[in-house]
Amino acid sequence: MSKKAKRPALGQGLENIFGDGIEDLISNIEQSSSLQSSTQIPLSSIRPNPYQPRKVFDDKALHELAASIEEHGIFTPLLLRESVQGYEIIAGERRFRAAKIAGLDSVPAIIVNFNDEQMMEIAILENVQREDLNAIEEANAYKNLMDRLGYTQEVLAKRVGKSREYCANILRLLKLPLEVQNMVSNGKLTLGHVRPLITLEDEEEIIAIASKIVTDKMSVREVERYVKDLHANKPPKKVKHKDPNLINVENIMESKLQTKVVVENKKIIIKYEDTNDLNRILELLNCIEE
């Protein structure tokens, strides 16, 4: 690889350079250099990847890896790039953290020249492909790819190997109150637990239900039934004597679009939060051409 890699076009990036196998790319680079030909880099000169989407690292797993490193050393070099001050991690942050715990002064590394866009794609796609992210980390990672690399949801879905509907639903998690997002990040709630909460509008109600889920150790099915019953017991918001067929259409569209929909007086009203949410809905309706 040349010292100055060309910056890829937005929305294309590594796909044009390496193909779709980001995990294979990382593995091939790491395994292509033996420990004898890799470079020993002081831990003090290494910084975490600024685009690392994973924020939660399993402490027990890190200590187990540290114990293995103490006994056997590091078999697979870290993948680094030079920065203004030292080096930044492209792949191998778990090994980096475990090496610190093990008391190492330096680690074997392979130095490659990736630009910011390539580095971000690798950091996010590697974690997504290895399923190392919790749902909130995954949602934020997708949002970063869309915001910083100009991905549409269509392109995003292709790059991460997921359906467009899956990506849209994951991104909707970022509409939840931060307190509830933290419950997901901390492993107290799963994606299945909070999915029924996405369509609720009252923030205090969402937080109260989320807390109840954790306290009562509710299953996903129990949460779905609870939210459904809660809505059934509320005074109906629909117009009195409204055509049941229109109500059914509203329910179908709300489920599909994950937002409030009103069908009345020969018109359809679809609620959206902001420009990104509008684009999400337009993509679900196949109204955006690539």
- Same domain for 214 and 126, yes or no, is no
Catalytic residue among 93, 117, 126, 250: 93
57 and 106 share one domain = yes
Only one residue has tokens 């593995």, namely 27
Residue 13's pLDDT band (cuts 50, 70, 90): very low
**Digit-coded pLDDT (tens) for 166-176:** 888 889 898 89
Q: pLDDT digit string (tens) for 46-85?
A: 988 777 766 667 788 788 889 998 888 887 888 888 888 8
Cα separation, 254 vs 186, whole angstroms: 29
Q: Is residue 6 helix, strand or coil?
A: coil
* pLDDT above 50 (res 18): no
Same domain, 221 and 258: no
Q: Does one domain contain both 275 and 187? A: no
The answer to whether 226 touches 218, Cβ cutoff 8 Å, is yes
CATH number at residue 75: 3.90.1530.10
Indicate whether 94 and 38 sit together in one domain.
yes
Same-domain pairing of 81 and 46: yes
- Classified as helix, coil or strand, 87 is strand
Q: Which of 103, 133, 163 is the last residue of a domain?
A: 133
Please indicate whether residue 93 is annotated as part of the active site: yes
With respect to residue 160, please indicate whether it lies within any of the assigned structural domains: no
Residue 206 lies in a domain: yes
Q: What is the pLDDT of residues 190-208, one digit of tens each?
A: 888 998 998 888 889 999 9
Number of domains in the chain: 3
Pair 230, 275 in one domain: no
Helix (H, G, I), strand (E, B) or coil at 128: helix
Pair (118, 197) in one structural domain: no
Residues 214 and 29: their CA atoms lie apart, in Å, by 43
Q: Are residues 193 and 244 in the same domain?
A: no
Residue 42 lies in a domain: yes
Identify the domain boundary among 133, 148, 169: 133
114 within 8 A of 75, measured Cβ to Cβ: no
What is the chain's Cα-based Rg? 23
The better pLDDT of the pair 163, 161 is held by 163
Same domain, 230 and 244: no
Q: Is the pTM of this model over 0.85?
A: no
- Is 2 part of any domain? no
For residue 142, being part of any structural domain is answered with no
Could you tell me which residues are beta bridge partners of residue 267?
264
Q: Are strands 87-91 and 78-82 parallel, antiparallel or unpaired?
A: antiparallel
242 with 252: CB under 8 angstroms?
A: no
Q: Which structural domain, as residue segments, surrounds residue 276? A: 239-290
Q: Across 151-282, where does the E strand assignment appear?
A: 261-264, 267-270
